[in-house]
Amino acid sequence: MTTSTEPASIHTALDTYAEHIEKGFVSVASAHQRLAIVRRLKEHHDDLPLACLNLDACVAMIDLWRSRPIGERTHLPIAASTARTILSELIRFFGWLDSSPQFTWTAPSHFGQVSRKIPRLPSDQRKLREVFSAEHFPVLYRHATPVQRLMLCLAMNCGMGAAEMGRLKRNDFVLDGNGECAIDLLPGEGILRFVRPKTDVYCEWLLWPETVEAVKWAIVRASETNSDLLFVTDDGNSMWKDQSANPSSRFTHLWQSLLRSVEGYGIPRLPLTTVRKGMAEQIRSEHGDDIARVFLGHAQQSDMFNVSPQFRRLHEVLRRIRSSFAMVFEKPNS
């Protein structure tokens, strides 16, 4: 183990940081992802002595990822999201290094003022993200099994991905008008209150009647196996596997199974997260970026006991969106 009396370098510190991640991280999949980023940092940054890691050196390391270097496989600049993820890990490393008793490095003055913004490139403007169209959703909804329908509803209604769905509990839901809400609920509507696991941001969504119906089915199913979780297998085990290297595999399998069942309808084979992103883009284009961030759970954490105007606004937007997607939920003969 490195001590404060031994000569220390960036790579030595990164190795110790990797040990810290392995020991302290609950999710195996998240640990694997973060360790891969640490290896990538070692590959791209020189092994400078920590004594040389001054403000200019920190800025140079940060700017490398802000500039979105060329990817080895694509031979194109790495995606903005990839650069942001790597840069976030680098910043976490600096914070850990500054507080670690194993090293004597201290963050330089004005470090917090260093720009971390990832610039957009001209090539980004030409990338058109393939999404599901409004005509695809009725077909998906009609052919879905109850659990697949629940996944579709939560992705459309709440912008959830598998990581959020897999952690939902029965008591996260306010159904049948029970409980104080930021907006007066109409018959059949509900509320979902949830804290995102990665960011600890409190989120709240008005639930459409169809989402409420799917949630009620799942609650009954979970209660039969004495599970607090909403998404469980027939024997009551969690569908989300935190200790697996691929914790979302069950969700991926169910979603791919639904897509296979509608192969003859011209529906693209896109991942479940495409639904979430597509809904967010629609909200952003019609109601602005701020409300889209609230929908995605990217907004600043709010007090869950405060009737927040941002949630009231989101609930109103979600109610209007439900009206625009009425055709998704129509009976075939209606």
> What are the sequence ranges of the domains in the chain?
10-121, 136-329
Identify the residue with better confidence: 93 or 304: 93
Q: In the 8-state DSSP scheme, what is residue 261?
A: H
The residues with which 205 forms a beta bridge, in sequence order, are 192
Contact assessment for residue 86 and residue 37, using Cβ atoms and an 8 Å cutoff: yes
Residue 246 pLDDT: 85
Look up residue 185 and give its amino acid. L
Residue 122 pLDDT more than 90? no
Instruction: Judge whether residue 68 has pLDDT over 90.
Output: yes
Dist CA 315 CA 283 (whole Å): 12
Task: Give pLDDT, residue 128.
Answer: 56
Which residue has better confidence, 330 or 90? 90
pLDDT score recorded for residue 37: 94
Q: Which among 112, 70, 121, 106 has a CA at the least distance from the CA of 91?
A: 112
| Interatomic CA distance for residues 113 and 109, integer angstroms | 9
The DSSP letter of residue 198 is T
Q: How confident is the model at residue 25 (pLDDT cuts 50, 70, 90)?
A: low
Residue 126 has pLDDT above 60, yes or no: no
The CATH code of domain 136-329 reads 1.10.443.10
User: Has residue 334 got a pLDDT over 60?
Assistant: no
Distance of CA 246 to the CA centre of its chain: 15
**Residue 57 pLDDT:** 96
Nearest of 169, 229, 151, 216 to residue 190 by alpha carbon: 216
Nearest CA-CA partner of 230 in 162, 137, 297: 162
Model pLDDT, residue 200: 80
Q: What is the mean pLDDT of residues 259-279?
A: 93
pTM exceeding the 0.95 threshold for the entire prediction? no
Work out the number of other CB atoms within 10 angstroms of the CB of residue 13. Answer: 22
**Of 31-35, 239-243, 267-271, highest mean pLDDT:** 267-271
46-50, 55-59, 122-126, 226-230, range with the lowest pLDDT: 122-126
Distance CA 153, CA 157 (A): 6
What's the one-letter identity of residue 228? D
Tens of pLDDT, residue by residue over 285-302, are: 999 999 999 999 887 544
Between the CA of residue 220 and those of 170, 180, 207, 251, what are the distances in Å?
A: 10, 23, 18, 20
Which of 12, 6, 88 minimizes the C-alpha distance to 46?
12
> How far is CA 18 from each of CA 29, 42, 89, 90, 243, rounded to the nearest angstrom?
14, 11, 11, 12, 18
pLDDT score for 3: 44
**Residue ranges of the alpha helices (H) in 48-143?**
55-66, 80-99, 122-125, 136-143
Predicted pLDDT at 298: 84
Kindly indicate the confidence band of residue 179, based on its pLDDT and cuts at 50, 70 and 90: low
Encoded tokens for 73: 């496989």
Report the length, in residues, of the chain. 334
Could you read off the pLDDT of 143-166 as tens digits, one per residue?
Answer: 999 999 999 999 999 999 999 999
